[in-house]
Amino acid sequence: MKKFIALLALASSSAAFAAVDFNSFDANGDGVISKTEAQANAQLARLFDKLDTDKNGELSQQEFSKVQ
């Protein structure tokens, strides 16, 4: 049930990111979104740990694409 709720929350938040480009969060242009960069958006900051599937503290374009 917890997984379902998490997936439902992720799906409902995807509309908020639909018009947002990965590069708009990657402030320093290094090809990843750091946790600090993610703080610019409350929803992304809240989802960051779930999206960071390899737990390296950064979101790759592939990880970020899961919300789109």
Confidence of residue 66 (pLDDT cuts 50, 70, 90): confident
Residue pLDDT, tens place only, 3-60: 545 544 555 555 555 457 899 999 999 999 999 999 999 999 999 999 999 999 999 9
Domains and CATH numbers, the chain: 2-67 (1.10.238)
What the block records as the tokens of 25 is 């969060």
Helix ranges, the chain (H)? 2-17, 22-25, 35-38, 42-51, 61-64
The pTM assigned to this predicted structure is 0.71
- Give CA–CA dist 18/32, Å, rounded: 18
